[in-house]
Amino acid sequence: MVKSVTDEGFLHLWPYYSDQLGRPPRWFTPLNQPALVLSSAGAVPGVFATASGHVVGGRNSQKEQFEWNDWFVDIGARSCAEVETLGIGPGARVIWNPQTRRIGCNITGKAMDDRAALAVATTVGEKLARSEELPFEFWLASTVQEENGLLGAASLVDEMSFDFAIALDVGLTGDIPGPDKRDFPSRLGAGPVVVYQDARCHYSRRLSDRLIDVAKSQPIPIPIQRAVFQNYGSDGAELLRRGVETALLTYPTRYTHSPIETVDEADLIHTVELLTAFVQSGEQLLEASL
């Protein structure tokens, strides 16, 4: 978010989440990427920038650690007044805005967390809407402000009553140079990931096992992975806190919290197939709960 505007028209930033470090973390990497400022008057393009190249050489060598005030957004303005005429000021949202591309088997771009999840949920809803009858009442929900204490997920149970829930989110992979595969065994292209535990909670073993059983029991088995995630949490934790039995199903995603989040279309298709089959086979789940 924009926290202030300089006299020369540059936008200084503050993170969208509750900052614990007082500086940008290593995993947050928007620099040198296209930006889009979402003002009250419309969207304004720009770039995420910091002093670079020749002007930081010699005595002005780069710091070992960035601070928030080292980063800014350049929208091509020449004054604070010009920025204000665009409807931009403190509180305006800023997102990175790279082009979404296919690279080999991958789809790479911004916000696969959770644009891809919305695509999956929408497709599942369209498929189930064509069913003559479902074994139970089925709802799709989308929430906001997960990074700020699961605020959106908390409101779901305030408005509705649910017996079961499946949280849908990005899944962590260790199939790139760097991560230890003992910690992150999941990989792109190997199917959706059922998560049994993350940093916030343990998910329902019964629902989790049921997802895996459904995947394996299809005429053409759906590839499926199991995982425990560290340094990760989902909206499902809030539903569990409110007494809703919840599982977490994820689609493998590389480079989370970056402008190049990467998924495999086959994993998304398999996630759709699994969720659709899970709902359609719901009689067995209901019988097990009686």
- 68 with 144, same domain: the answer is no
pLDDT the model gives residue 290? 43
23-39 pLDDT, tens digit each: 998 888 899 999 999 99
Closest CA to 173 of 236, 246, 250: 250
Q: What is the pLDDT of residue 151?
A: 79
Give CA torsion, residues 87, 90, 95, 96, to 10 deg.
Answer: 100
Lay out the sheet containing 261-264: strands in order across: 101-103, 106-109, 261-264
User: Within this chain, do residues 145 and 170 fall inside the same structural domain, yes or no?
Assistant: yes
Q: Is the pLDDT of residue 22 over 90?
A: no
Question: Which of 65, 96, 127 marks a domain boundary?
Answer: 96
Residue type, 200: R
- Contacting residues for 119 by C-beta, under 8 A, at least 6 apart: 268
Number of domains in the chain: 2
Question: Running DSSP on this structure, what letter comes out for residue 254?
Answer: B
Say if residue 105 is in the same domain as residue 242: yes
43 & 73 share domain: yes
Query: In terms of residue numbers, what domain contains 85?
Result: 2-96
> pLDDT, tens digit, for every residue of 155-197?
888 888 889 999 999 999 999 999 999 999 999 999 999 999 9
User: Which CATH number do you get for residue 64?
Assistant: 2.40.30.40
Residue whose C-alpha is closest to residue 2's, from 52, 71, 51: 71
Give the integer Cα–Cα distance in Å for 222 and 275. 11
Q: What is the CATH number of the domain that holds 142?
A: 3.40.630.10
- DSSP element (H, E) containing 265: helix 265-280
**For 99-121, what is the mean pLDDT?**
95
State whether residue 36 is helix, strand or coil: strand
Do 257 and 173 share a structural domain?
A: yes
Residue 243 and residue 112 share a domain: yes
Residue 68's CB: how many other CB atoms inside 10 A?
16
pLDDT in tens, 142-164: 988 877 777 778 888 888 888 99
Rounded to 5 degrees, φ, ψ at 11 are -105, 120
Output the pTM of the full model: 0.89
Q: Which helix (H) or strand (E) holds 279?
A: helix 265-280
Rounded distance, CA 140 to CA 101, Å? Answer: 28
How many Å apart are CA 274 and CA 51, to the nearest integer? 48
Q: What is the pLDDT of residue 98?
A: 94
Whether residues 151 and 270 share a domain: the answer is yes
Among 74, 96, 118, the domain boundary falls at 96
DSSP assignment letter at 130: T
Looking at the structure, do residues 71 and 115 belong to the same domain, yes or no? no
Same domain, 68 and 123: no
pLDDT for residue 248 is more than 80: yes
- Tens of pLDDT, residue by residue over 60-106, are 566 778 999 999 999 999 999 999 999 999 999 999 999 999 999 99
Question: What is the pLDDT at residue 268?
Answer: 98
Note the pLDDT of residue 62: 62
Whether residues 144 and 269 fall in one domain = yes
Together in a domain, 81 and 131: no
Query: Based on C-alpha coordinates, what's the Rg of the chain?
Result: 22
CB–CB of 258/109 below 8 Å? no
pLDDT of residue 64: 77
Domain end call among 96, 117, 147: 96
Same domain, 54 and 144: no
